Amino acid sequence: MASSTTPGTPAATPGTPAVLRAMNDRAALDLLVLHGPLTRTRIGELTGLSKPTTSQLLARLETAGLVRSSGSESGRPGPKALLYEVDPSAAHVAALSVGHTGISAVVADVTGRVVGRGRVGADAVAEDVRNRTAQLVHEAVEAALAEAGLRADRLHHTVIGTPGALDPVSGELRYAPHLPGWHSRTLLAELTEEIGTPVRIENDVNLAALAEQYQGAAQDHDDFVLAWVDRGVGAAIVLGGTLLRGATGGAGEIGYMPLPGAPLARGGEG
């Protein structure tokens, strides 16, 4: 059966040497992030790759600036084996939390270590705030970068957690009427231009669920619900290991569920 591809885009062929190299490189990076410094021998054991193949992938990752040697393994007979680790400076990301009193930002390196923090206080419903949301986000990120001693061009990606959820069709933030400055349909493009990196806006409870799945109470569970009770009530749903967002991004927004005898929530559409 013939496969369809986008005109002008070369089709990726599974099983080609380039694809296999990329898969091996990714597997090695994942192991180094998970376990910390490893020897070439141990990487080969964990991936099932031969010594020559493991040496080649480590050389590629070193050349790309993703991996570096970090001393040698001691306490064993024979020649000391070099240890390899992910180079923390290979990439940096910004993570922001948005609330009704301001915007907090952290910058972390590729290992997840926080290297800088910043915060901009601002009343979310103030008239002078509504039209400069992107500028406030930029200020918070700049403050975190300054504390980290990093230039803006060292930042690779930005993720923003909000109490609402981004509608995947309209691009508008829903379920957050208390954040009027975040409801522009062009906000994502404005943020991307202002910060200079790709930007993702995600529901804050969804992000908490992903954190629990990665290194928290839900590590060994593919199906779970995280309930969140704060100024509002929300939840995140993970099924089969995948976060469930819903058709309009509102899966888990239990605070907006109609209940018998209860008044309907108004303004949740933003």
Residue ranges of the chain whose pLDDT lies below 50? 1-9, 267-270
What does the pLDDT read at residue 262?
63
As a residue count, the chain comes to: 270
What does the pLDDT read at residue 270?
38
Q: Which domain holds residue 224?
A: 207-256
Question: Per residue in 185-205, pLDDT tens?
Answer: 899 999 999 999 999 999 999
Residue 44 and residue 125 in one domain: no
Residue 95 and residue 154 in one domain: yes
What does the pLDDT read at residue 174?
86
- Residue 263, in any domain of the structure: no
- Residue 159, in any domain of the structure: yes
What does the pLDDT read at residue 229?
85
What does the pLDDT read at residue 129?
79
The CATH number that applies at residue 25 is 1.10.10.10
Q: Can you tell me the distance from the alpha carbon of 161 to that of 219, in angstroms, rounded to the nearest whole number?
A: 21
Residue 42 and residue 76 in one domain: yes
Q: Can you tell me the distance from the alpha carbon of 202 to that of 27, in angstroms, rounded to the nearest whole number?
A: 27
The CATH number that applies at residue 109 is 3.30.420.40
Number of domains in the chain: 3
What does the pLDDT read at residue 256?
67
Angle subtended by helix axes 51-63 and 40-47, to nearest 10: 110
